[in-house]
Chains A and B, each alone.
Chain A
Amino acid sequence: MQLNNKNHILELKKPDIRELFFMAMGGLVLLFIIAPLAGMFINSSLGGLLDAAKDDVVQKSIWLTLWVSMAGTLILAFFAIPFSYLLARKNFPLKRLITGIVDLPIVIPHTAAGIAILGVISRNSVIGKLAKEIDFSFVGNPAGIMVAMAFVSLPFLINGAREGFASVPERLEKAALTLGATPIRVFFTISLPLAWRSVLSGLIMMWARGLSEFGAVIVIAYHPMVTPVLIFERFSSFGLKYARPVAALFIIVCLVIFIILRLLAENKNARS
């Protein structure tokens, strides 16, 4: 027994070195993320940031990026959230295949995704021709940008929401049914509120991922210019010095919004 105790203490002591080593590696990983970002802020002057913020083109592009990604997230959420519920609750044939399909946008190259989407919504496609009937074109239009953003970011919402629904005890839904609730009412009063934290987190992730999309968007629409495309354009036309303030400003705007959203979400959950 005592021998065991001794061994136990030895085992506890040994990892200290290991943990130190791991911490050092963790520090390097953090540095790897932080250093480029910090460097960018250090190298961009406050004046440059302010100039970028006052630049009409930059302002318009940031607004466009924010709202188009938001619109895409909300529209797809209407379809994706009920679908996530099905994925979490039901077993059906080919379920593994379907969950695999959901993850496809994450694993394929985004420019390739852009080409694929273009094939569906270009002026020559069926959808494109239908759109032309009402004098509308996806290409070069915020609607096209929205489709591209939503395509590549949708898995974040579906996977987040699915995990949320899976963690709601089925028994609560059964209890609600026996208390006289219709299945649709059970979904809105029990399943969705209890999974809300994960669903919201999925929504935020989807939006965030949509905002930052470059590859798929540039294939569909160079204009109107979303901020990632604008940053690229400034960089390729004028160089690093001109691209940097826009990039820094965009990062600041995104960070502020996400921090606020996260805090709001946490507060809401803390209260309930």
Chain B
Amino acid sequence: MLEVRNITKTIDTFALKNISFEVTQGEYFVLLGKSGVGKTILLEIISGLLEPDNGRIILDGHDVTREKIQKRHIGIVYQDKALFPHLSVQENLSYPLRCRRVSRKEIDARIEQLAEDIGFMPLLKRKPETLSSGEAQRVALARTLATEPKCLLLDEPISSLDIQAKSEIRALLRRINRSGQTMIHVTHDYEEAISLATRIAVMEDGKISQVGSPYEVFQHPKSEFVAKFIGIKNIFKGELRNSGNELAEFVTEGKRFFILSDKESGTGSMVLRGEDITISNTNLQTSARNTFKGIITDIEMDRLSSEVTVDIGIEMSALITRDSLEKLGLCLGKEVWINFKATSPRYIEE
């Protein structure tokens, strides 16, 4: 649907190098990378605000690289929302429609529909400066959706929001995506990526180093950078059962883990850092609530640490020192116990 081909762009000392990827219709594509790797520049190239030095942008089979911005049908929502401060919420929303010479009557109808869908009916007469950051982001989203973009670009849409607004906007973004909207979302937050993405592209140093489903990217990082940047290899999709009274449980592929979470029951992901898993040769009595027996299926050595993969029915990776590896006499095929506290894993709701 949207194809980015060999995009190159140099601005001062910064450069995007030969960026290529493809986004299919209805996909939620997340560009994950540290701040300053050129994610915003890439979005501005796709939307037409910047011209690439080289490469092509292809939308629905048409080369739009040199197409005028207003003819591209690509919408962009910025982190700072970029609402027009001199216009009311209603006027902000009608702005893209008036550019398209939509009739007054139809504009009113469309705005009403959007306000209802996105949920900000009472705000219409207000000025942007009086809105909370979450409200402002809703309005910014609605304003861009009013253009009925073929592809919606989101530049860190959640980062600057408070916690409450974060989960609301996340849910809203997911809802918009499920209605069939193709989306490209850039973020530095891996939780956002896990929570929303159907596919993730990892950006480092002006290049894309890996593209794949969240699970591919997190469990099998292709470069050291990805592994270090994300730092999480244990990531499981499953179901949270939280009665609210006792410790919540996370169930995946028949395994049950104890997990401390105040999130409501539902589907989501459990992520666990390798550093938080301990390995022992016997079943020790510890305060850790999660203890499993398994078999070592892989050992990957680094200069100081080693990553030990243990199959407990599902594969879990523990990061331990070389020293421990030798003292415990760990080797492939050995039967060991793994432990981790219920406070170690994080649950990320979907």
Contact = CB atoms under 8 A, between A and B. Distances in A.
Contacts of A96: none
A178 B86 CA distance: 18
B65 interface: no
Contact of A177 (B69, B85, B144): B69
A189 B95 contact: yes
Interface string B70-87: 100011101010101110
A189 B76 CA distance: 19
B76 A185 contact: no
Contacts of A179: 75, 95-96, 99, 143-144, 147
A177 B82 contact: no
B69 A185 contact: no
Interface in A170-208: 171-172, 174-182, 185, 189-190, 193-194
B85 A181 contact: no
Contacts of B70: 177-178, 180-182
A190 B147 contact: no
Interface residues of B, number: 22
Interface of B: 44, 47-49, 69-70, 74-76, 78, 80, 82, 84-86, 95-96, 99-100, 143-144, 147
B267 to A, nearest CB: 34
Contacts of A194: 84-86
A172 B99 contact: no
A121 B224 CA distance: 74
Interface in A124-172: 169, 171-172
13 contacts: A171-B78, A171-B80, A172-B82, A175-B78, A175-B82, A176-B84, A177-B69, A178-B47, A178-B69, A178-B76, A178-B144, A179-B95, A189-B95
B100 A178 contact: no
Given A180-B96, A181-B99, A174 B80 contact: no
A237 interface: no
Nearest to B95: A179
B82 A180 contact: no
Contacts of A190: 84
Majority SS at the chain A contact face: helix
Task: Classify chain A's interface size.
Answer: 10 to 19
Interface of A: 169, 171-172, 174-182, 185, 189-190, 193-194, 272
Contact of B95 (A171, A176, A182, A193): A176
B103 to A, nearest CB: 16
B102 to A, nearest CB: 10
Given A178-B69, A178-B70, A182-B70, 9 more contacts: A174-B76, A174-B82, A177-B48, A178-B47, A178-B74, A179-B75, A179-B143, A193-B86, A194-B86
A179 B76 CA distance: 8
A180 B99 contact: yes
B49 A178 contact: yes
Nearest to A193: B86
A188 B99 CA distance: 12
Contacts of B75: 178-179
A172 B69 CA distance: 14
Contacts of B47: 178
Contacts of B99: 179-182, 185
